[in-house]
Amino acid sequence: MPELPEVEVSRMGISPHLVGQTIKTITWRAPKLRWPIPEELKQLEGQPITAIERRAKYLLLHTPAGTAVMHLGMSGSLRVLDALVTPNKHDHVDVQLTNGKVLRYNDPRRFGAWLWCAPGQSHDVLVNLGPEPLTDAFHAEQMAQRAQGKRSTVKQFIMDNRHVVGVGNIYACEALFQARIHPTKAVGTLKITQWNTLVGAIKQTLAAAIEQGGTTLKDFSQADGKPGYFKQSLAVYGRDGEPCIECGEPIQALKIGQRNTFYCDVCQIL
């Protein structure tokens, strides 16, 4: 599933081709993806694209008439192509521009979403989201305060969008390894020094993944069709049984909250 770095890479890839352009038509070839596609999206036709933002794992395509809220789901991807290129089987949404280009959304599993948000409003999916991890709003003191008295594992806590957005499974495993914190550690027991280390590790891990174009494990590719290269930098994720890059002991795996979790039992302190 595309996580925050992959969504940010997609935003960076499509923005130069879309911002400042005018939408000619918007069409969809399926009535619903994860949710029904709203007819209000037709209000985007004839509108200039003023900005493309990312909030958590959502992309927001802004126009004066309203905003298209996009989510890539498990297998979604966005391409900017010539409008004359014939759509493929799983090309479900087209945003055609007056310059002859088209933003095309492909999603084999149809777990993604295209939603509508009127000007000056916020969609329900964007309510109650925590701070963006690559901003100053995400810091150790805030996380320590939120975690006080909590018994959940630190991994589940940092993957909860109410506390901080966009720290998905891959990057939670990697950040916890970098911070030398065991993923099953009770979050309420972390000291402020550990939070400082972990917050820094999350920021560094996500920034490095964005710089390398995200992580391609199966479905994800960048807007130009290239894979993400952060997979080559993974220290623990998907490496169960392989030697730890620090101590040489085998990487361990377990499930936390139904998600595969990878860690080093020697390097990461419980």
Binding residue numbers? 90, 109, 150
What is the DSSP code string of 58-110? EEEEEETTEEEEEE-TTT-EEEEEETTSPP-TTEEEEEEETTSEEEEEE-TT-
The yes-or-no answer on residue 31 being catalytic is: no
Give CA separation, 170 vs 75, 147, 177, 211, in Å: 16, 21, 11, 16
User: Which entry of 11, 57, 155, 239 is annotated as an active-site residue?
Assistant: 57
Told to judge if 250 belongs to the known catalytic residues of this protein, a careful annotator would answer no
3 is catalytic: yes
Question: Collapsing DSSP states into helix, strand and coil, what is residue 51?
Answer: strand
The annotation places the binding site for DNA at 90, 109, 150
Element (H or E) spanning 211, and its range? helix 192-211
> Which residue out of 55, 110, 231, 259 is catalytically annotated?
259
Q: What is the DSSP letter of 43?
A: G
In this structure, are residues 59 and 49 in contact, taking their beta carbons and an 8 Å threshold?
no
Which of the following is catalytic: 2, 5, 133, 183? 2
For 207, how many CA atoms within 13 A lie in the half-sphere containing its CB? 9
To the query of whether residue 180 is one of the catalytic residues in this protein, the response is no
User: Which residues does 212 contact at the CB level (< 8 Å), separation at least 6?
Assistant: 228, 229, 230, 232, 233
| Residue 247 · residue 265 · CB < 8 Å | no
Which listed residue (3, 6, 8, 174) is catalytic?
3
Positive or negative, the Cα torsion across 184, 186, 189, 191? positive
DSSP 162-173: TTSS---HHHHH
Catalytic residues: 2-3, 57, 259
